[in-house]
Structure 1
Amino acid sequence: MSGGRWSARLTELGIELPPTVKPVAAYVPAVRTGNLVYTAGQVPMVSGEMAATGKVGAEISPEQGRELARICALNALSAIDSLVGLDSIVRIVKVVGFVASAPGFGGQPGVVNGASLLLGEVFGDAGAHARSAVGVSELPLGAPVEVELIVEVA
């Protein structure tokens, strides 16, 4: 999309960025260095509350996990927007997704797809990114999913 009119694209898709989630410890939501912005890990907070808690593959279905990863990505975009403005994004460079996984659950890539698919929907070719999808035993505040982004900005 020419001119980086990502805000207009969100409106076109009927997506509203949530308010930036306040940090729960000693960190900031996003940091810029040069032409890169790194977000802190974003959990699926909605209106100041965790959208769901538990482990994917037990209390949380993979489909629910995918939706929660989408919320995490929206929270990360909000952090970027509050720092440099969404429209300054040139491309999504990398997505790192952590999935609190029940024993034996190996579907982390499918869960983190919730974030990846949202980014592709919003940013098109500029949303194509490198990615890691990691299974972990626990995440902060009982979150099922945590997502962080690295983006190139103008």
Structure 2
Amino acid sequence: MPVMETEDPLALERQVCFALAVASRSVIAVYRPLLEPLGLTHPQYLVLLALWQQSPRSGRELSDVLQLDPGTLSPLLKRLEAAGFVRRERDIRDERMLAVTLTEAGLALRDEALKIPPAVVSRLGLEISELEQLHASLTRVIAAARPAVD
């Protein structure tokens, strides 16, 4: 007897990984036209968000905060430096460490970026409370999955 699709534990539509992958691509697509005028990709925007929160930061700290491996972070930092938004320098206290600092242009870009969150909320058409609840749920998922991948 065939398994009903709604009862199939392998049904694509029931997979958390599928919903997360599609949601991620869809939300990043909402950001794309908002970031393009700033000359940023979504990953570069995430780096700048971390630096707008605290600058300078070490490369290792950025890697940890963004949950990116150094091999992924390094080209992002190089492109942001080439665009004039960050400066990468050896830490004077420890030459092995890379210090990433916002430039004046990187700091100034923050004022333009303040328009992005409300535009995203508007384009998604969801209530702030729904997005906050989603964020809390995703944060719990990330925490629950983290030990499995470390």
Q: What TM-score do the two structures reach when normalised by structure 1? A: 0.21
Higher strand share: 1
Q: Please report the TM-score for the alignment, with normalisation by the length of structure 2.
A: 0.22
Structure number with greater CO (CA < 8 Å, separation at least 6) is: 1
| Greater Rg over alpha carbons, structure | 2
